[in-house]
A = this chain, B = another copy of it.
Amino acid sequence: NGRGEVGDEFETDVLSGFQTSAVLSDSAREKTIFIRGKLADEDAVVILEKTPIREDTLAELFTGSRLKLEMRNDIYSTYRLQPPPHLNEIKTTVVCPATEKHVKKYQRQESFLVEETGEDYKTITLPYIQKQSFSVQWVHNILEKKAEADRIVFEDPDKEVGFVLLPDFKWDQKQADDLYLIAITHQRNIKSLRDLTSDHLPLLQNIFQKGKEAILQRYNLPASKLRVYLHYQPSYYHLHVHFTKLGYEAPGCGVERAHFLADVIQNLQADTQYYKTRTLYFPLRADDGLLSKFKEAGRL
């Protein structure tokens, strides 16, 4: 069973034939595991993540589960709770066929902080990005409503300042505690922070304003509960903005990778060349091709 359309939820047994070849990484803290393997003779990556515990299911969880006592000591006792399957799902993402690049992306790796001057960007990073020509076909599919159209939370269709707002894959949308949305610009020629000048202020301000309004309307979360930022380096070179819930330690919200949209706007207002001239710092994984380029250039 392998057919299906976007938004069409039905039961399948596609994973019963999955053959694990290696665990790429896992996190006991986050209850995730990234697995490499074969799915009907094709290379695949399968990502499993247990779902957050929802307050609205607690009553059923306590009455409908099996419970086994493990340990008792004074006022403390521990148990193993076995909930009914529909209350305890695992969010599963399949990438198939997966390329070597996908495998690398999910493989646990050491990271190094890179110092990229404006000149380094022009002579090292930009040529590397252009040579790789990373596919952003899936982004274009979203913008053209060829995929994920039913997931769109908000759209401003304007060609210059417009964008599509939709949930990030990492978010299962069951609770606002780990809210994670992405705003993708309709403009297709902005690769990253490095391309931004004061010309883009109307675009950035529009995303900031309308993104916050849409989230307030749809999820009842005010701006004071949101962290709105860009990544540098981004994981794909089509400008996008991250909206995550304040207090949720979203992966990639650390100071070494995230740039507050509000700061980006202020910096461009003060200096249109800010992101063309500043030295930017970001972590690169040991197996990242870009890191090799920085090493070859004697910049690490």
Docked complex Cα distance between A1 and B59 (Å): 19
Closest to A249 in B: B29
How far, in Å, is A64 (CB) from chain B's closest CB?
9
Query: In residues 56-108 of chain A, which contact B (Cβ within 8 Å)?
Result: 58-59, 61-63, 65-86, 88-98
Chain A positions 134-158 with a Cβ under 8 Å from a chain B Cβ = 137-138, 141-142, 147-148, 151
Instruction: Determine if A138 and B74 form an interchain contact, defined as CB atoms under 8 angstroms apart.
Output: yes
For A207, the chain B residues whose CB sits under 8 A away are none
Partner among B12, B31, B281 whose Cβ is within 8 Å of the Cβ of A69: B12
Please tell me if the beta carbons of B79 and A92 are within 8 angstroms of each other in the complex: yes
In the bound complex, residues from chain B placing their C-beta under 8 Å from that of A129 are none
| A30 → B minimal CB distance (Å) | 6
Q: Which residues of B contact A113 (CB under 8 A)?
A: 223-227, 246
How many chain A residues touch B (Cβ–Cβ < 8 Å)? 114
Answer whether residue A247 sits at the interface, using C-beta atoms and an 8 A cutoff.
yes
Is A18 close to B, CB under 8 A? yes
A258 within 8 A of B: yes
Q: Do A55 and B29 contact each other (CB < 8 Å), given the known contacts A68-B9, A94-B76?
A: no
Establish whether residues A86 and B75, one from each chain, have CB atoms under 8 Å apart when the complex forms. no
A91–chain B nearest beta-carbon distance, Å: 7
Q: Taking the complex as formed, is A199 at the interface, i.e. its CB lies under 8 A from any CB of chain B?
A: no
Q: Which residue of B lies closest to A179 (CB)?
A: B28
**Which residue in chain B gives the minimum CB-CB distance to A151?**
B71
- Among candidates B72, B79, B82, B248, residue contacting A6 with C-beta atoms closer than 8 Å: B72
A83 CB, min distance to chain B CBs, angstroms: 6
List chain B residues, Cβ under 8 A from A20. Answer: 58-59, 62
Question: Are A98 and B72 in touch, CB under 8 angstroms?
Answer: no
Asked whether A13 and B255 contact (CB < 8 A) given A79-B94, A90-B83, the answer is no
Which A residues from 248 to 300 make CB contacts under 8 A with B?
A: 248-250, 253-256, 258-260, 262-263, 266, 270-271, 278-279, 281, 283, 300
A246 touches B138 (CB 8 A): no
Q: Report whether A68 and B30 are in contact in the complex, using a CB–CB cutoff of 8 Å.
A: no
- 8 smallest beta-carbon distances between A and B, as pairs: A28-B178, A255-B258, A73-B147, A82-B85, A28-B52, A79-B92, A81-B90, A28-B177
CB-defined A-B contacts under 8 Å, sample of 28: A4-B72, A11-B68, A14-B67, A15-B65, A20-B59, A20-B62, A26-B53, A29-B29, A32-B53, A50-B51, A65-B85, A66-B85, A75-B96, A75-B138, A76-B94, A77-B94, A78-B93, A80-B89, A83-B90, A88-B90, A110-B247, A113-B225, A227-B255, A246-B283, A247-B283, A253-B255, A254-B255, A262-B281
